[in-house]
Structure 1
Amino acid sequence: MIRLEKKTEERLDLPCLKCISLGRAYDLLREDIRDHLRMAQKDIGFRFCRFHALFHDDMDVVYRRPDGTIGYHWHQIDKIYDFLLSVGLKPIVELNPMPSLLASGNQKMFYYAMNVTPPKVMQEWYDLVHEFTHHITERYGEHEVEQWRFEVWNEPNRKCFWSGTQQEYFDLYENAARAVKAVNPRYLVGGPASAIGAWVGELIEYCTEKDIPLDFVSTHLYPQDEYCVHKDREHSPSALGMYYIDGVRKVWETVINSSRPDIDIYWTEFNTLATDCAENITFLNNIHVDKLFSAACIVRNMVETRAWSKGVAYWTISDVFEESQMRHTPFSGTYGLITLQGIPKAGYNAFKLMKKMRGKVFETSVEAPLGCGVLACEEDGILRVLLWNNQPLEIASRPDWSDTLVFDGVNAEDFIAEKALIREGQGSAYEAWLGMGKPANLTAFEEDYLRARSEMDYSLPTLKGSPASIDFTLKGDEVCYFEIHKRPKDVAHIVENKKMEAQLNTDNT
């Protein structure tokens, strides 16, 4: 029995609702991914958007004049930022990659060939960042850009994303940070945008010692990283199913024990890449970003780590994504919350349900299988409850979770319960697609069918007794939302107008 009787003073704030991400800057010139962002802003309303490759050669930002000096083109960037602002999104400006004209080498990453080498001449990198910052200030104004975030590079602790050393990254960071602050000292800049929580403490201490601007720290983590670092979980410091939560807490502890204990933390990449063993690690064909599992994985990890960061950016909003070349099937293990056809995945619905949660948080005590949990809030007399069953993939049986919610102070006769459930084939279209035989191309009817299967299972269950209670059962990976509110005082009734009836019934023939 889960009794909702005592509220805390915590007013719910979910950092994952503040940020979203997408693959690369050039993608934002496509209308389909713009449609996906418009859809997300209508349903969820994120505040920030992050993406790679702002300075990629396909953006044509840097050119060399006949006299050998560097010039800049901003037209493509302007179109991208104009659009983001038009849908209510502030950029997290990821300052990368290295334009070929400035690069010291030719090492590249991804299908679209993002240069990951240090600058040949550091002053040219400084000038690029400074002129870019000056340009966006001129175009959008200081007040607007003061609300943005500038993040230097992406995962420099991984050789595939940064060919230089840690010290060379620190030099890159320093020059970028000073270039941004030279335009406006109130602009917010940070890093290291590292993988698996690395380099956060080191960057804080380096910047403190050298008096280098640092307004926030950022890093990334995925559930399957546990098996990347600890093969088959051997020597993993985390209990089963706790790796992501422990990793977020560890970075928070690093920060609060540093010389900058109050600095903001942003997790600028997270998604539901997961595995049950080292042999099954895959970054390119991971079905757990497509299937029902993603909904419960997102809800559990985002709710249980909410106190330890300022923002979390799900990677990514859309399957319009070209890191390993564009996939074209309806589901392909691509990271997006929305398919190429604009069909919401289970993870997207998880965000829609989290968006509904607001108000002061109840204390809850739950006896449930590992990975199951509850979040309950109250605002203006309306009770909202979110439940999830996110048992680790290593647990093959994945048992159901059944229990009863009890609402103290609520009489069943006076209240209505509303329920939304994300389950296989209803709120999670992936399983319905499997049942169709995994067609690579959809007919118009099949697309409509999957869109219908992406809708959550809505119902009006019956409350019982006083205090009111309601039973529930969640199968593995399911997510359930309840909303409890008073019955409406006004009900529909027939409006009579005898005079008008008499006029309309007159025989005018």
Structure 2
Amino acid sequence: MKRPLRTLATVATTLLISTALAARPVHAADATVTADFATPVDYPLVKSKFGLFNSGYVSPARWKRDAAKMAALRPARVRWETMWGNEQHGWTPLVTGSPAHPRYHFAQIDRLADLIKTAGAQPVPALTYTPGILKPPGGNWNDPPKDPSVWATKIVPALVAHWKKTGRRAGSYEIWNEPDLPGVFWTGTQQQYLDLYRDASRAIRAADPDAYVEGPALCCVGWKTEFVNRVLADNLPLDGFSFHAYTDATDGSLENNYQGATDSGLTAYRMATVDDNLNEYNWSHDFTVPTDVITHRGAAELLKSFKALLAKPWITHVEWAQFQDPVCPTTCDVIGLLDREGHVRASYNAFKLYAGMPVARKQLTIDGAVDGLASSDSHKSGVLLWNTSGTTQDVTASLTNIPFAEGDFRVYRIDADHASYEDNPASETLTPVEQQLGVSTAGLTWTGTIPDHGIVYLEAEDGTGTSSLDPVDVGTVIRDLQYMPNHGKKSYASFDRRTWTAEIGMGTETWADTAAGVVATDLPGTLRIRAESTGTFQNLDANSLHGVRIDFETASGYTKGVLLHGGLYNSTRSAPMPWGTKRQADQVIHVTDFSDFTVNLPDLAPPGWTGRVTMSFHQQNTGPGTRTTFTVRPA
């Protein structure tokens, strides 16, 4: 939970329009917008980047009550503080007994993990703080444990082993929360925390070799170098370098403070496969009512932040702070997407609009003082516009090249009158304010106003109810992977485990190495892989590559790597392979039609294959503007 700021110093009306949109009066506009749904652009509107954070001051009952609202946001991960030793609001101690004989009570945390999984997300418990049995005499929950080895090598791995045994998989196990915030969440020294991280990270990996280990959840930048140096010097497990920020994502502070923390720019660097996770973020640090965070103004700022964060491919995960308002002993973070009673605020509705947009981003040309995003798949095309200019803007928007000839058109608003509970309790949920059913999509236009810090979403859909965001069951995902050897590059890579889709692109880079992957088991014998590519691909040097690689595990580890490509590959390739066998491919297959092909896994697998694979999707040195969407399905 982020510290409180003080610690640190009318019913919505649905309009059914019966006349054609083109028949609306045309007038001069402050802003003109054209969405071209035939022209792809970067960065894709991935859902695997954005998740949610809750403090430990949210009761199990409220988690359960609002589970469906959480699922509607399609969060990739959900992080929360476990609050050992400072249990709140219906939470019972997870650890009792004595330091010599700890007793564990996993029922509540199991139910929360299951609830998050049912919502389609990965649970990310921040393993905090000091349980009662380890508090020093006269001490508190934020003091270092009186016996750190019990905390690190008994209690922490007990939870990890329990979840492994019961088939639960954490998206990450994070070790503590903001230990660098003096006297708030950690009263010990930097050295004490680094020792605790050392022991706990090793114990987590021992209890579950597949576990994702994350830390140090920094609040304040200063410890980043010492932490990374300690990880490197002691060869400690680290899969996600985590940090927090409550700041404008467009002001450069994220880059200045953290972009280089785990980056040397070298392809073989140990940290090239470590994610950088902004796992507690909001655009504002003003949490005390009255605050813009909970009004319609906060919704426009959320979308502004999302767009800026999409353009930071070096950040893998962003957990939005917070999902639900906490209930603290004194005034604290009134910042939730939901209030204490479960009412959704304007920012929730903005998040929901983003979550429902197709991933494939399309060209949006804007002349004027509004901003936005456009995306499309074969069933839905959407334009999301927001206005943070300070004045009302008249807008004319044209939607061109919609990929279906006829459909339903709807307009949604978020502003002081619409879909903002704090501004207008009679208008809480998103409902169309304009609607046309069964209209031609050719020459579709909309003209209207967007007030300051208002949002308008224009959506055309074909009425089939089919979505590219629908989850797909291909296999059991052990973990997803990202290779980002140089954080200064604008290339990007991500894998969405819900849809089994990888988004890979060079951005504006001519030379870059980028890959995403997935470790999986329980796969069908034959997979169908589709590669939808755009841009002019170039063969620039020996390491230029556009391919899919499958590494097979045996009892001896990964013993065989198979590379499949459509012609952009060189036999003298020497670039590092970050996963699997970590060497050049043992078998290379030129696929005649790389846009759509099948792979028979047993035919390629080595003797003794365990059924586990690491599947990787690569682009390297293919020229600017080249991008691919890879989808994997059972054949």
DSSP 3-state at the match of 1:255 = coil
* Superimposed CA distance per residue, residues 270-304 of structure 1 (whole angstroms, 9 cap, x where no aligned partner): 23435xxxxxxx44435222111111111110122
2:320 equivalent to 1:314 = yes
Shift of 1:222: 1.0
Aligned counterparts, 1:262-273, within 5 A: 262-273=273-284
Q: What's the counterpart of residue 151 of structure 2?
A: 125
DSSP-derived class of the 1:157 partner: coil
Aligned partner (choices 55, 62, 72) of residue 103 of structure 2: 72
| Distance in 1 (alpha carbons) for counterparts of 2:114 and 2:463 | 45
1:460 to 435, 442, 445: 435
Residue 91 of structure 1 is matched in structure 2 by: 123
> Measured at CA, do residues 288 and 64 of structure 1 come closer, stay the same or move farther in structure 2, by a change above 3 Å?
same
2:161 maps to: 134
Q: Which amino acid aligns with 1:55?
A: W
User: Residues 155, 390 of structure 1: CA spacing in aligned structure 2 closer, same or farther, 3 A cutoff?
Assistant: farther
State the match for 1:176 in structure 2: 200
Give, in angstroms, the shift of residue 456 of structure 1.
4.4
Between the aligned residues of both structures, percent identity stands at: 21
The structure with more strand, counted as a fraction of residues: 2
40, 50, 55: which one aligns with 2:70: 40
Look up the SS of the partner of 1:404 in the other structure. Answer: strand
- Determine which structure has the larger helix proportion and give its number: 1
| Structure 1 Cα separation of the partners of residues 403 and 446 of structure 2 | 12
- Evaluate the alpha carbon distance shift between residue 76 and residue 377 of structure 1 in structure 2; reply closer, same or farther with a 3 A threshold: closer
2:85 maps to a residue whose letter is: H
1:478 aligns with 2:476: no
1:49 aligned partner: 78
Q: Is the 8 A contact 2:300 2:388 kept in 1?
A: yes
Q: By how many angstroms is 1:401 displaced? A: 2.9
| Contact 1:21–1:315, Cα closer than 8 Å, also in 2 | yes
Q: How much has 1:79 moved relative to structure 2?
A: 4.0
Aligned match of 1:242:
250
Q: 1:290: which partner in 2? A: 294
In structure 2, distance between residues paired with 1:82 and 1:415: 38
CA–CA separation in structure 1 for the residues paired with 2:368 and 2:262: 32
Q: Which moved more, 1:307-316 or 1:68-77?
A: 68-77
Whichever residue aligns with residue 45 of structure 2, its letter is L
Offset of residue 15 of structure 1: 4.6
User: For structure 1, which runs of at least 5 residues remain unmatched after alignment?
Assistant: 109-114, 225-240, 275-281, 328-332, 392-397, 433-449, 489-509
CA RMSD of aligned residues (A): 3.2
User: Does the aligned pair in 2 maintain the 1:16–1:314 contact within 8 Å?
Assistant: no
TM-score by length of 1: 0.73
Question: Does the aligned pair in 2 maintain the 1:200–1:218 contact within 8 Å?
Answer: no
Are 1:156 and 2:187 matched, yes or no? no
Query: Which residue does 2:346 correspond to in 1?
Result: 346
Which residue does the alignment assign to 1:252?
259
User: Using a 3 Å threshold, how does the CA distance of structure 1 residues 4 and 284 change in structure 2: closer, same or farther?
Assistant: closer
How far apart, CA to CA, are the structure 2 residues paired with 1:3 and 1:163? 54
Q: Alpha carbons of 1:451 and 1:194: their partners in 2 closer, same or farther (altered >3 Å)?
A: farther
Matched, 1:29 2:60: yes
Displacement of 1:313 = 1.4
Q: Are residue 423 (structure 1) and residue 415 (structure 2) matched?
A: yes
Secondary structure, counterpart of 1:270 in structure 2? strand
Give the length in aligned residue pairs. 417
Q: What's the CA shift string for 1:153-185, capped at 9, x where partnerless?
A: 111111112112222221111111011011122
Q: Confirm or deny: 8 A CA contact 2:349 2:419 kept in the other structure.
A: yes
TM-score, normalisation: structure 2: 0.60
Change (3 A) 1:79 1:165: same
Measured against aligned partners, the alpha-carbon deviations of 1:428-468 in whole angstroms (never above 9, x if no partner) come to 12122xxxxxxxxxxxxxxxxx2544444531279999644
Q: Which moved more, 1:180-189 or 1:204-213?
A: 204-213
Amino acid at match of 1:50: R
Aligned to 1:2: 33
Gaps of 5+ in 2: 1-31, 465-635
Q: Is the 8 A contact 1:116 1:162 kept in 2?
A: yes
Pick closer, same or farther for the CA change 1:458–1:257 going to 2, 3 Å: farther
Aligned mates of 1:157, 1:350 — CA distance in 2: 32
User: Are residue 390 (structure 1) and residue 388 (structure 2) matched?
Assistant: yes
For the 8 Å contact 1:411–1:468, the answer to whether it is kept is no
Cα distance, 1:365 vs. partner?
A: 4.0
Change (3 A) 1:486 1:120: closer
The answer (yes or no) to whether the contact 2:82–2:125 under 8 Å persists in 1 is no
Counterpart Cα distance in 1 of 2:46 and 2:323? 21
1:266–1:105 distance in 2 versus 1, CA, 3 Å:
farther
Task: State how far apart, in whole Å, the 2-side matches of 1:54 and 1:425 are.
Answer: 38
CA distance, structure 2, for counterparts of residue 453 and residue 39 of structure 1: 13
d(CA) in 2 for partners of 1:40 and 1:465?
33
CA deviation string 1:295-345 (max 9, x = no partner): 1111110122123422211222222x1334489xxxxx7122112232210
| Cα deviation, residue 205, structure 1 | 2.9
Query: 1:486: Cα distance to partner?
Result: 5.7
Q: Is the CA contact (8 Å cut-off) linking 2:379 and 2:403 kept in structure 1? A: no
In structure 1, what residue type is equivalent to 2:103?
Y
Q: CA deviation at 1:410?
A: 5.7
User: CA offsets per residue over residues 60-110 of structure 1, 9 Å max, x none?
Assistant: 233345xx72312224433433444444443202111011321347565xx
Distance change (3 Å), C-alpha of 1:251 and 1:429: same
TM alignment of 1:99-110, pairs within 5 A: 99-104=131-136, 108=140
